[in-house]
Structure 1
């Protein structure tokens, strides 16, 4: 038996049923395809009778809508969304942390334990492996890439890498020069090794 498509046109409204909700997304749950309501909260979407719609808007609770199996090809609906409020904690903006915050942070810092009395799993002569370095910034890791590109720490890291590369190049040139001198000291005319 073939599935019939239903064209659903409707309006997304706030709880007072008169104020439209612009920019609400109306998606088919099974296919992740959908539409966005216009400035008047109106939308138009074609669905199968077995599809489920997910309606979401910023500041409102998400809503699932199941079209009724009716012998019609067009359906007009009004979707009413409930407001969703989130209470955020108090925020104080200061130029630097207070003494209490610094003291609390120092108290909460973990201290390393090396004695057997403080750490029963301590094995003498066994050191834990060093922590893994942070992943290298790549296109696949865009947050680290952007941080390295735009932060002063990233700039300092790049400068440090350049200095290390120059230092390694100088050390390699010095090693080759010494190797050449060592080789050439056994020849009467010192033009053999270039």
Structure 2
């Protein structure tokens, strides 16, 4: 009877549940890794970190946690039959190096026949039989005009239109609108350039 009681206590201590929580971030920049996966090794049980990199999972004290994220090396955390019922950890993941294969650059352009043959081999995805085809969007009944007044078209019959465009209020509004649109395009182009440079620097431009 004492032996049976000791075995039950030992089994209960072995299969104790542990609540593991913490934050997953990069080892170099200490930025949170949103969407990092936390698995129990050897099973399909797991969870996903939120936007701040925080996670929480309840496992057995004999399990081993496996942390995975795209572009990072996997990390393992064995619990080693710990007697604690709650553990708070800070996981720092190291970026995985990307090795590119051999790149060959050939002079000239491919033959047009090769291009056409490759295009013919591309198979378009067939829609399912129960797919609903949407009708094309309706065309406007009247031409859509912008807020800014259009530039006048000078003709020999009305040369005064050029003078009116230079000194009228409508002409000033049109030129101001063109300046604003040009500034917005320049700002958008600068944002796209900075984003590309950041992805290239972080080695994520190939994803």
Normalising by the residue count of structure 2, what TM-score does the alignment of the two structures yield? Answer: 0.44
Greater percentage in helix? 2
Normalising by the residue count of structure 1, what TM-score does the alignment of the two structures yield? Answer: 0.47
User: Greater Rg, structure 1 or structure 2?
Assistant: 1
